[in-house]
């Protein structure tokens, strides 16, 4: 289980590293198709990250059940404290991943002119002008051309 847990985590982390260091720089060299490519890459990586997250959660819960056993032992053992610290550090990553999957990926699909499923239209409506200007209300660059 530890091996599968590390494999699932490495799938996400390694995929993100390969995406940032190799794939996206290659996409920037294709200005004629960069919108479609970025939208498709984001959609596919989001699916990969979802599978990796599922693997991490399943193997992590199994390992916690074996090592800790009860909620009381979660605060009474060194492994339990380590697990709580790890969860505390991972929760912001889960929030970023959810934001990416449920907000950024549909926005990128819309930006590329691809159809967006009906359930994502509501979060997209307020940011249409932001996509047109390339900036969000918080001053963050959404997509660089």
Tell me the pLDDT tens digit for each residue of 4-62.
999 999 998 999 999 999 998 999 888 888 889 999 999 999 999 999 999 999 999 99
Q: Which of 14-23, 98-107, 109-118 has the lowest mean pLDDT?
A: 109-118
98 contacts: CB under 8 Å, gap ≥ 6: none
pLDDT for position 139: 47
d(C-alpha 56, C-alpha 37), whole Å: 28
Average pLDDT along the chain: 82
**Angle at the Cα of 29 (from 33 to 142), degrees rounded to 5?**
70
pLDDT for position 121: 46
Please give the span between the terminal C-alpha atoms of the chain, in angstroms, as a whole number.
Answer: 43
Residues in the chain: 145
CA 1 to chain centre: 23
């Amino acid at each position: 289980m530890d091996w599968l847990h590390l494999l699932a985590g490495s799938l996400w982390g390694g995929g993100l590293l390969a995406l940032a260091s190799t794939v996206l720089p290659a996409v920037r060299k294709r200005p004629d198709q960069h919108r479609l490519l970025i939208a498709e890459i984001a959609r596919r990586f989001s699916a990969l990250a979802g599978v990796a997250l599922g693997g991490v959660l399943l193997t992590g819960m199994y390992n916690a059940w074996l090592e800790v056993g009860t909620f009381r032992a979660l605060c009474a053992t060194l492994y339990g404290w380590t697990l709580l610290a790890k969860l505390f550090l991972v929760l912001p990553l889960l929030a970023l991943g959810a934001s990416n999957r449920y907000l950024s990926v549909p926005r990128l699909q819309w930006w590329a002119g691809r159809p967006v499923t009906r359930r994502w239209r509501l979060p997209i409506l307020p940011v249409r002008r932001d996509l047109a200007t390339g900036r969000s209300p918080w001053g963050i660059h959404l997509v660089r051309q």
